[in-house]
Structures are given as C-alpha cells and as structure tokens.
C-alpha cells in the first residue's frame, strides 16, 4: 500500500465570484481502521488564506507547524499578512528542500489575493505547483473529485451556490473512496466573512 | 517494541518532570502530548521509535483529555482510543457503549467488557490486565484483571 494512502484524505478547493471555498473530509484512519471522525485537515493561515494538507497525517502536522512558524515570522518582519501567491511559493520551497526524503503530503492552498481575486493552487509532494482557474483536488479521493468537480463546476458562482456545488462534489467523491469520508468540513471565504460548516454524509 | 518503549516513555516522563522543576508549573496534557509527538517526529526520519502512545491527563481548567499518538507521530485528541490487534475489538465495544459524561463505574464496566472481548476473540490474548485511572487526584493503579497469577517463587 502506498504511503500516501496510509491515513486517507480528500481535499478540494473551488473558485467562485470574488470568493472561494475549500473542503475536506473528516476521517483519520490507519489503513483499514478508522481512528477518528473529526480530524481537521484545513487550517487558517490568516483571514484570507487557508491551507489544507492531505496525505500522511504526521507529515501534514509537521508541515503545518513549519508553515505557521514561517508565516508568523513573516508577519513579525513585514507587519502584514502573506499573499496567497507568496505562500504557495513558500510551500513549494519547503517541500522541494526535502526533495530526496520528501514530506508525503499534498497541500491545497486557497486564498484571496489583491483586488479580492480568489487564488487556488495545489502542489505535489515535492513542490511542483499547479495553479488552476476553477478547482484543485488532492487526497486518496482525488480522482473521483476531479470527475465530480468537472461535472458540477460553473464559473462565477455566488457563495451560496458554490457551497452547494462543492459540498455535493465532495460527498459524492468520498462515497467512492473507502479511505476518506465520515462527513466534511467546508470553509466559504468572501472578502467580508469566513463561513465554516460541517457536512453530514454517509458515515462509513 | 519493548526496548524502545521503556526508553522512550522514561525519556518523556523525565522531561515532563524537568519542565515542572524548571518552570514551577506542570505541563498541560496537550503540551506534553505535543512534546511527545515532536520527539517522535524528529526521530522518525533518523532512527524511528516503534512506540504507540495513548496519553491521558487531567488539567484543572480543562478536565480530562486523551491523546492518540501513533508511532509515526500522528497526533489526535480523542474520546476513546486503542492500539494493537485488540484495538479492533475494543474500539467496536467502545463505539457501542461509550457516551460522554460516563461515571467511573460505567467506564470500568466498559473496560471490563473490552477485556472480555479481547480474552474471547484474540488468539494471542495477554492473560493479565491492569486498569489505571487519571483524575483530579492524580494517576493511580485502580485494579488488576488477572487470569494467571504471578509465580510466588519468580
């Protein structure tokens, strides 16, 4: 079994009209066994930037700690928050540092850059950035997520419609993956507010 | 693994005590759990410890808490946890019978149910179990559940 499939995860971020949404599943497993159904994969970097880390949970936690550290240091030095593009480059650099002994993680970065333009990005485990205009996916349910998002995505969705679309795409995809699921976490971010919701899906 | 287990847990124990000596206040359970995870994570890519940890603690303001720490340094705060082959049976029993706010008696009853399951279902079941309790009065051994008494001459 691949090391990326040890804990199981599903992550997706989608762009709307001056807003974005990022969603994850809630399962923490150890191969076939489910340990917890309330695992947080997405964390807030600052009010307009979120990062989700899929893949091996221990590396996701280590990487998360290192990224928070680097961002806090940046905030102290620059007296401002990091732009999403800059943060994505930071993530990429940190991952490539470990090129020959990598973190087994696939991050999904989502933020609002200048002029409230939504920015989403994913990288592979050694930091190759993939910038997309519509949606990015990661995790064991990634293939299913690609299909579901491609089918359901429309450009320039308002926050409410984006929430519906992303929730349905996530729940449909994790139902086809035994290693992810047990509900979902979704954050919808607009320039004025951040809404966090928990999704109820098939608990199996 | 046995060798790692003793060495690693003693190392954590002594560092937790050291913190209290140096700073005058004890480490919270969350802090101790994160310290343990940090040690496991640092060693992971050099010389990994093959030790799984369930860390239970009681803090005055927070109350009791339980942390699940994998041998590859996955940390998660849980209500109920188990490791090993017996974990399949224990987690199932706990999923069925656990609810938050159980009394000590109900909890011991649930532990006994888990022990019964392990004894009947696990081929390689260990003969003896110890039950420990952690609460506001500290950590203490509560009871033993023995099927094989220790040899008096040993």
Q: Is A28 on the interface with B (CB under 8 A)?
A: yes
Nearest chain B Cα to A55, which residue?
B74
Question: Helix, strand, or coil here: B68?
Answer: strand
Tell me the C-alpha distance between A6 and B70, whole Å: 12
Q: Residue A204: inside a domain, yes or no?
A: no
* Candidate from B37, B75, B88 with C-beta closest to A33: B88
Nearest chain A Cα to B70, which residue?
A58
Domain range for A12 is: 3-199
Residue A189: its pLDDT value, please?
A: 96
Q: Residue A181: inside a domain, yes or no?
A: yes
Q: Residue A142: inside a domain, yes or no?
A: yes
Confidence of residue B154 (pLDDT cuts 50, 70, 90): low
Average pLDDT over residues A182-203: 94
Residue B1: its pLDDT value, please?
A: 64
Q: What is the ipTM of this complex?
A: 0.90
**DSSP letter, residue A4:** G
Are A105 and A54 in contact, with CB atoms under 8 Å apart? yes
Residue A204: its pLDDT value, please?
A: 84
Confidence of residue B150 (pLDDT cuts 50, 70, 90): confident
Tens of pLDDT, residues B9-22 = 999 999 999 999 99
Tens of pLDDT, residues B85-109 = 999 999 999 999 999 999 999 999 9
Q: Residue A86: inside a domain, yes or no?
A: yes
Whether this prediction's pTM lies above 0.80 is answered by yes
Q: Residue A157: inside a domain, yes or no?
A: yes
Q: Answer whether B41 sits within 8 Å of A101, measured CB to CB.
A: no
Tens of pLDDT, residues A76-121 = 999 999 999 999 999 999 999 999 999 999 999 999 998 999 999 9
Tokens of A99: 């090129």
- Domains of chain A: total: 1
Q: Residue A83: inside a domain, yes or no?
A: yes
CATH of the domain at A109: 3.60.20.10
């Amino acid at each position: 079994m691949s090391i990326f499939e040890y804990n199981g995860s599903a992550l997706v971020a989608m762009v709307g009209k001056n807003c974005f949404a990022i969603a994850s599943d809630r399962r923490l497993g150890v191969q076939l066994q489910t340990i917890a159904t309330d695992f947080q994969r997405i964390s807030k970097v600052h009010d307009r930037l979120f990062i989700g880390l899929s893949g091996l949970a221990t590396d996701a936690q280590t990487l998360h700690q290192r990224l928070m550290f680097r961002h806090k240091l940046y905030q102290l030095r620059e007296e401002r928050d990091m732009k999403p593009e800059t943060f994505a480059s930071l993530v990429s650099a940190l991952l490539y540092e470990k090129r020959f002994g990598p973190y087994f993680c696939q991050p999904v970065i989502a933020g609002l850059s200048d002029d409230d333009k939504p920015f989403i990005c994913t990288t592979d485990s050694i930091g190759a950035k993939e910038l997309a205009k519509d949606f990015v996916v990661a995790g064991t349910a990634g293939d299913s997520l690609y299909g579901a998002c491609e089918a359901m995505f429309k450009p320039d969705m308002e926050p409410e419609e984006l929430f519906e679309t992303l929730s349905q795409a996530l729940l449909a995809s994790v139902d086809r993956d035994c290693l992810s699921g047990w509900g979902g976490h979704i954050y919808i971010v607009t320039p004025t507010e951040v809404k966090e919701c928990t999704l109820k899906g098939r608990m199996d | 693994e046995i060798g790692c287990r003793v060495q690693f847990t003693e190392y954590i124990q002594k560092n937790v005590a050291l913190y209290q000596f140096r700073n005058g206040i004890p480490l919270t359970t969350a802090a101790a759990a994160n310290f343990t995870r940090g040690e496991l994570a640092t060693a992971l890519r050099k010389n990994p410890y093959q030790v799984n940890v369930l860390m239970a603690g009681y803090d005055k303001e927070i109350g009791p808490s339980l942390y699940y720490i994998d041998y590859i340094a996955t940390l998660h705060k849980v209500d109920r946890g188990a490791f090993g082959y017996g974990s399949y049976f224990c987690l199932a029993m706990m999923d069925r019978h656990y609810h938050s706010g159980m009394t000590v008696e109900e909890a011991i009853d649930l532990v006994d149910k888990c022990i019964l399951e392990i004894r009947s279902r696990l081929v390689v079941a260990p003969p003896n179990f110890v039950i420990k309790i952690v609460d506001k009065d500290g950590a203490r051994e509560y009871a033993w559940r023995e099927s094989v008494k220790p040899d008096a001459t040993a």
